[in-house]
Amino acid sequence: MKADKRIISVAVGLVFFIPALLLDKIWGIFAAYLTLYALAWAAAAWSVILKALRNIRRGVIFDENFLMLIASIGAFVINLVFSDFETELCAPGGGEAMMDGVLVMLLYQTGEYFQALAVRRSRKNIRRLLSMRPDSAVVVRDGKETEVDPDDVAVGEITVVRPGERIALDGTVTEGSGYIDTSMITGESVPAFVKPGDQVKSGCIAVDSLLTLKTTKAFGESTASKMLRLVEEAADKKAKQETFIGAFAKVYTPIVCAAALIVAVIPSVVQIFAFGAVAGDAWHKWIYTALSLLVVSCPCALVISVPLTFFSGIGGASRIGVLVKGSDCFAPLARTNIIAFDKTGTITAGKFSVKETATDKRTLAMLAAAENKFNHPIARAFDAEADGSCVCTYAEDVSGRGIRAIVDDQRLTAGTYAFMQSEGVECADVSDPYTIVHVAVNGEYKGYVTVADTVKPESAEAVAECRKNGMKTIMLTGDRPAVAQAVAKEVGIDEVRAGMLPQDKVDAVQELKTQGKVIFCGDGINDAPVIASADVGCAMGGVGSDSAIEAADIVIMNDDLTSVVAGRRHAQKVIRIATENIVGSLVTKIVIMILSILLPALSLIVEFPLWIAIIGDVGVCLVAIANSMRALRCRIKRTNTKALS
């Protein structure tokens, strides 16, 4: 709405300004062009006047609104006071300074309009995130479907999600199967297929099927609510560059105003008394130069573009499922040169699967049928191997060492080497870092199966990208050294430290911090202390614990380590853009300010044109804003497509 008012102000101002320009430059009709210039100025300046008055009441005097008003009003004053009525004001071109005063406001409001457009665009991703908050949920109570507020749904209740509807609470699919759009949560554009037993997150949309879910979290703790809370908190955390600019503007603006006053007075006095210049000409020249100095010195390019860069950076990162908790996280993330990983749930999926088989398909199918009777992680590793061809009628778990079962009327024994020995089955003690499940049917040894935590397909690519960017990679894990070394070798990690307790990880990170900036990526409750102690803590948001997510500086909603690399690259881009805006704006303004004083002092020009100053100010601001908008663009580079397929 504000942007619309600005453009209306400019349009109305132009309606008065154009005929005023004709009356001034061609006919020199003073009363007519003065009236029209004044109306054009009022149309463009009224909102600036209101903002300046509001800020003055709050104790903020020297802001860009105040500077623009002083410069534009001053142009009218010096034109009327220092111009001869008969020979100048009533002659064609006599209202040149008034024309500049109106141009100051028209160009300033035009710049403000484009700034508002840029801000709206930068907020687009944040508003898009806010749109994922569901207004209601359909819950099944007493056999009837009832639409209620999501806050009123308890954990364990059954909810129904129809095609096109948004999932209100995290849950497990109990009935139905189909595709869900996860782009709002993970940044993945390809819909994910879900079936009974799969976990789904709030904020996702059912695409083509009706799904029945059993809620696993309350609404306030669901994924969508957490994301929104993190994004809202991020807006309150400012980077050092932002706080510096705010403090800088408070000091810089009064200094510039004092400098402008000095420029207006001292050269005029020197020229009048030392060189015998005409008083009117001297005052006209240097007051006009001082007004140009005020206009070009306006710090709006810095005050607007730098916070906009970081805000756009947060929005851009969210597009790929990377939630940055505040703009103060960008600088340390950009400088990290050591990346440490937890293993389970970070490099690996935290879900066991069959890695290698050294037995026949029939035996494997029988083992899968027997393991299907149990619910521990090793047993669940065989879910993908069950083909329904075998029937288990009896199964017994022996203290975590192995199982005894009857499958297709045959006696099956499976477990560790020690367990098989105790059961009287002769087998070789296989040396392997992963879990070995030996199998025997009717007392006859049939071979073994290797079970391991599944390495995420993108982990190797992420580690390779880290090393390519000069980052040292380290695994800190509580797992056994043999398993940790095997996983590290598979994904290409430089260094491994295994068998670590949470405090050991904290100590290791403190040691690594003496070598550079450290980012630690983890997901479990035990990772919360080390995530908090790292220069940048990174939590896997999809599978991560609440404590890890709360302690982290950035949250990876898609549990994809390549997003960590993309987030670091994006942080470097954001810091680079902010630095470009700061340096570019200051250098350009200083050059124009020097020219605005130097050129009139050397009599190379009579006075520095006010409209050039405002173009310099608004132009610098618009260029800086356009540069800031680059921070909205963020993507994950996929270099190893085979690894991801």
User: What positions carry a catalytic annotation?
Assistant: 342
Supply 91's token pair: 């002659």
Q: Following DSSP, what letter does each residue of 280-300 receive, concatenated?
A: HHHHHHHHHHHHHHHHHT-TH
Pairwise CA distance, residues 630 & 645, whole Å: 30
> In this structure, is the dihedral angle defined by the CA atoms of residues 236, 242, 247 and 252, taken in order, positive or negative?
negative
Which residues face 475 on adjacent strands? 341, 496
Which among 545, 165, 479 has a CA at the least distance from the CA of 347? 479
CB contact at 8 A, 526 and 502: yes
Q: Report long-range pairs for 112-118 (Cβ below 8 Å, ≥24 apart).
A: 112/6, 113/3, 113/6, 113/7, 113/10, 114/622, 114/625, 115/300, 115/304, 115/621, 115/622, 115/625, 116/2, 116/3, 116/6, 117/3, 118/308, 118/625, 118/626, 118/628, 118/629
SS3 at position 270? helix
Pairwise CA distance, residues 89 & 23, whole Å: 12
479: left (phi over 0), alpha (psi -120 to 50) or beta: beta
Pairwise CA distance, residues 430 & 416, whole Å: 10
SS3 annotation, 583-614: HHHHHHHHHHHHHHHHHHHCCCCCCCCHHHHH
Angle 615-619-621 (CA atoms, 0-180°, nearest 5)? 125
> In this structure, is the dihedral angle defined by the CA atoms of residues 191, 196, 198 and 200, taken in order, positive or negative?
positive
> In this structure, is the dihedral angle defined by the CA atoms of residues 124, 130, 135 and 139, taken in order, positive or negative?
positive
Pairwise CA distance, residues 228 & 131, whole Å: 10
Rounded to the nearest 10 degrees, how much is the dihedral formed by the CA atoms of 168, 173, 178, 179? 50
CB contact at 8 A, 569 and 631: no
